[in-house]
Amino acid sequence: MPTLRLALAQVNPTVGDLVGNAELVRAWTRRAADAGAQLVAFPEMVLTGYPVEDLVFRRSFVAASRDALHRLAAELAADGFGDLPVVVGYLDADGPPQVSSDAEPGRGARNAAAVLHGGTVAATYFKHHLPNYGVFDEDRYFVPGDTLTVVRVGGVDVALTICEDLWQAGGPFAVARQAGVGLVVNINGSPYELNKDDIRRPLVSRRAVEAGAAIAYVNMIGGQDELVFEGDSMVVAADGTLLARGPQFVEHLLVHDLDLPAAPDRGAPASGELADGMRVSRTRISDAGAAPAGPPALGGIIEPAADEAEVWQALVLGLRGYVDKNRFPSVVLGLSGGIDSAVVAALAVDALGPQRVVGVSLPSQHSSEHSREDAAELAKRTGLDYRVEPIQPMVDTFLANMSLSGVSVENLQARVRGVILMALSNQEGHLVLTTGNKSELAVGYSTLYGDSVGGYNPVKDVWKTLIWRLAKWRNADAASRDETPPIPENSIGKPPSAELSPGQLDSDTLPDYAVLDPILIGYVDGDLGRDGLVEAGHDPALIDRVLRLVDTAEYKRRQSAPGTKISMKAFGRDRRLPITNRWREHG
């Protein structure tokens, strides 16, 4: 039984940065080779970054991906790693565009994996199961592959698969069993979701058993636009046993020696078999050779972090990715003394360091003394760049020149704050962070073009009750390491207030968050209707109150974004370009 030393490189690519991503593959291949690896695998579309969205439709980008792949194969050989098979994800397309519909030409693009070996592209595989739900739109972008690619490496038959191929029954894993492979490599761009690892781990084991083969699962890490990739790469035996598991949220090379069944000697590799509607294509790369050199390599098993720690790391990584991949030098945010801005400030300092974070206190006549003190205290604890910009003179000038009353005056204050933060952004180059939590956003307890002004909101998908848990966890974690807890206890303990009118409290308008959040979670995250929420045990009158708030919030959001489309390429919902400045057509 041959032993293969696998190296799974959970790296952090950047969408559009073909040159930088290729460099990443070269650097980590060197580390894998230094560790004696005999097969290296990188994540899904590592060469282009993921997701590339409508960049798929730009032929020049597809061509650039293919060119970069062939160049990378040559460079790896020139680096001295021509004998080491390296699996990389990239963007491909086969043949000229096909017309799939009179309305829209099909483009034949492929979510692809290649085995680079001997300075060439030795084999390719096209993703078979294309996810098209949640954040995924792959039916829009790709044509599914119908061939399972099997490469013989060190005398072992290894099948290539990509991400969703693992999440759906049948297809590649079923064919892998019929093809009698010893190992399935599964390369991923699998976005982080709260507790997704609880589902993923048993799923990998189940698929291993179904395929009758070990699985080498490698996932990228890093923030890209709204998404966070968490890593969590692993090696699972054919009987489903977890053998090795990498950490979450950091780059890592998981190196593990795996005993694998020798491939039966078929003479010349047989191709063209048919199984379960898919073909099998076989390529011989290397026959059984020497066992791995030196002491055995064991990847070790790292258990996932607890909930709050996991979310905190995800938010830090997401924010850092957005800021750095877009090349913003620094961020600025308003500090109210409240819990939301305190948590965002602490996240930003963890992501970027205090010298890249500007916190601005923007007091009005309604700001309490404790709010100003709490903001200053936060600044002192975290060491961020602290400023004070009182808003009252500007608010007063608007009020002197217009006839405003009630909620218009409340919103005016939030909008003056937005103007100040954007002015600082224009003047000094910071990215503006917003701090509205998901509960607030759901019920519309925020000011459009006021609180919502900014380029990135690290907590937009975090319910208010989780915000508090995160704050307490972060402080306790600091204390456990004898560091200063970043968030003032007062910001955690005091009743939430927008401070836009005298003595205002959130509880004047909203139910307690401890009651509100479970209803919102059922309605927004769970797609439950009123009846479903009643069945779940919530008070019907309270349900109606909350759903009315959500509907009103959806109505308020109608004050932003749409316009009339008269083409398929308006700057609206269907213009789905990734947020990248790493792909350039021009010189």
Query: Which residues between 53 and 92 bind a second copy (CB under 8 A)?
Result: 57-61
Element (H, E) at 104: none
- Please give the residues from 188 up to 207 whose contact with a second copy meets the rule CB under 8 A: 191-194, 199, 203
Question: Does the protein bind a second copy through residue 43 (CB under 8 A)?
Answer: no
Question: Does the protein bind a second copy through residue 425 (CB under 8 A)?
Answer: yes
What is the rounded CA–CA span in Å between residue 447 and residue 559?
Answer: 11
Task: Give least dist CB 517 to a second copy, A.
Answer: 13
Is residue 437 a known part of a binding site?
no
Question: Does the protein bind a second copy through residue 481 (CB under 8 A)?
Answer: no
Specify the DSSP class assigned to residue 528. Answer: -
Residue with tokens 């924010």: 319
Is residue 339 a known part of a binding site?
yes
Question: Does the protein bind a second copy through residue 293 (CB under 8 A)?
Answer: no
- Please give the residues from 524 up to 553 whose contact with a second copy meets the rule CB under 8 A: 524-525, 527, 529-532, 543-544, 547-548, 551
Q: Is 432 left (phi over 0), alpha (psi -120 to 50) or beta?
A: beta
How many residues make up the chain in this entry? Answer: 587
SS3 for 346-415 is: HHHHHHHCHHHEEEEECCCCCCCHHHHHHHHHHHHHHCCEEEECCCHHHHHHHHHHCCCCCHHHHHHHHH
Task: Give least dist CB 202 to a second copy, A.
Answer: 10
Task: Give least dist CB 48 to a second copy, A.
Answer: 15
Is residue 239 a known part of a binding site?
no
Question: Does the protein bind a second copy through residue 393 (CB under 8 A)?
Answer: yes
Residues annotated as part of the active site: 44, 127, 163
Question: Does the protein bind a second copy through residue 560 (CB under 8 A)?
Answer: yes
DSSP-assigned letters across all residues of 200-237: HHHHHHHHHHHHTSEEEEEE-EEEETTEEEEB--EEE-
Counting beta carbons within 10 angstroms of the beta carbon of residue 30, is it exposed (0 to 12), middle (13 to 18) or buried (19 or more)? middle
- Please give the residues from 487 up to 526 whose contact with a second copy meets the rule CB under 8 A: 523-525
What is the rounded CA–CA span in Å between residue 101 and residue 26?
Answer: 41
Among residues 457, 465, 475, 491, the one that binds a second copy under rule CB under 8 A: 457
Of 401, 194, 397, nearest to 312 by C-alpha is: 194
Is residue 435 a known part of a binding site?
yes
**Span interacting with a second copy, options 90-98, 211-219, 307-315, 478-486, rule CB under 8 A:** 307-315
Task: Give least dist CB 578 to a second copy, A.
Answer: 10
Residue with smaller CB distance to a second copy, 124 or 457: 457
Is residue 223 a known part of a binding site?
no
Binding-site size for a second copy (CB under 8 A) equals: 129
Among residues 249, 456, 468, 513, the one that binds a second copy under rule CB under 8 A: 456
Element (H, E) at 302: none
What is the SS3 assignment for 148? strand
Residue with smaller CB distance to a second copy, 286 or 580: 580
Question: Does the protein bind a second copy through residue 329 (CB under 8 A)?
Answer: no
